[in-house]
């Protein structure tokens, strides 16, 4: 039997597990307090190690932020976006994006808040780091697919292909980040991740549906 850890005694974590625990602690605290509001000591405390251990794995704060961007955020972004290339049809592509974003938020509860705080907001300390790494080929595939559908007359010519990504993120990550606040509004109590995903899929399907266009003709 493993002896119980006494209160205040840091957990002994070694090797890769220690590094992963530090990154987990960092993203959680960054989502709660922002990068600027999170100290190395706080990250160490949450991970159950000493501050010296943080400096052992990350020689400085910039290196830690690079690791968060590349090993946490980018990994999720790639998982969400890579399947768009294999999707058959624009509606399936957009529906899959919504489903994967909602699932990512369930698997990584810190994701929506961290995205808004440190990527979208001005001054976000992860923005430039992540933008340098974005899988632009996947985003370009979505833009091209929308543009082709427009040329075929399948969707409205008023839709801006380059902003479809913004619409998907606005319908998912924004309400997911504000979910706790939404649930405090009496008329919105009970709204959950599944509702956000279903709502986003329905709106996008309505906007990009061939059937909708034929009815409107």
Residue whose tokens read 């999720």: 76
**Phi-psi category of 170—alpha, beta or left, where left has phi over 0 and alpha has psi -120 to 50?**
alpha
pLDDT in the model for residue 11: 47
- Average pLDDT on 45-66 reads 95
Residue 12 reports pLDDT greater than 60: no
Residue 9 reports pLDDT greater than 90: no
| Residue 1: half-sphere exposure toward Cβ, Cα within 13 Å | 3
CATH of domain 67-216: 1.10.357.10
Domain ranges of the chain: 8-59, 67-216
Per-residue b or e along 160-190, where b marks 16 or more CB atoms closer than 10 Å to that residue's CB: ebeebbebbbebbbebbbebeebeeeeeeee
Longest Cα separation, the chain: 72
Residue 183 reports pLDDT greater than 90: no
What is the pLDDT confidence band of residue 16, given thresholds at 50, 70 and 90? low
C-alpha torsion 32→21→174→93, nearest 10: 180
Residue 198 reports pLDDT greater than 90: yes
pLDDT in the model for residue 213: 47
- Average pLDDT on 124-143 reads 95
Task: For the chain, give the mean pLDDT.
Answer: 89
Q: What is the pTM of this model?
A: 0.86
pLDDT in the model for residue 15: 55
The answer to whether domain 8-59 has CATH 1.10.10.60 is yes
How far, in Å, are 95, 172, 189 from residue 182 at the CA level? 23, 14, 7
Burial class (CB in 10 A: 0-12, 13-18, 19+), 20: middle
Span 68-79, pLDDT tens digits:
999 999 999 999
How far, in Å, are 18, 82, 98, 178, 215 from residue 95 at the CA level? 37, 14, 5, 21, 21
Look at 13-17, 60-64, 120-124 and tell me which has the smallest mean pLDDT: 13-17
Look at 7-21, 92-106, 130-144, 202-216 and tell me which has the smallest mean pLDDT: 7-21
């Amino acid at each position: 039997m493993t002896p119980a850890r006494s209160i205040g005694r840091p957990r002994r974590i070694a090797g890769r597990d220690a590094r992963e625990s530090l990154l987990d602690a960092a993203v959680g605290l960054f989502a709660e307090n922002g990068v600027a509001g999170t100290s190395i000591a706080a990250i160490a405390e949450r991970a159950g190690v000493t501050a010296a251990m943080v400096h052992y794995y990350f020689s400085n704060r910039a290196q830690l932020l690079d690791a968060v961007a590349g090993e946490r955020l980018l990994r999720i972004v790639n998982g969400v976006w890579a399947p768009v290339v294999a999707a058959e049809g624009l509606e399936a592509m957009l529906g899959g994006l919504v489903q994967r974003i909602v699932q990512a938020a369930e698997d990584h509860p810190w994701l929506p808040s961290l995205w808004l705080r440190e990527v979208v907001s001005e001054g976000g300390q992860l923005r430039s780091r992540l933008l340098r790494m974005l899988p632009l080929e996947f985003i370009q595939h979505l833009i091209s697919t929308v543009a082709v559908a427009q040329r075929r007359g399948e969707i409205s010519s008023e839709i801006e292909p380059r902003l479809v990504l913004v619409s998907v993120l606005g319908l998912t990550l924004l309400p997911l980040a504000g979910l706790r606040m939404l649930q405090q509004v009496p008329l919105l109590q009970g709204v959950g991740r599944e509702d956000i995903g279903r709502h986003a899929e329905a709106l996008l399907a309505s906007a990009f549906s061939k059937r909708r266009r034929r009815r409107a003709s």
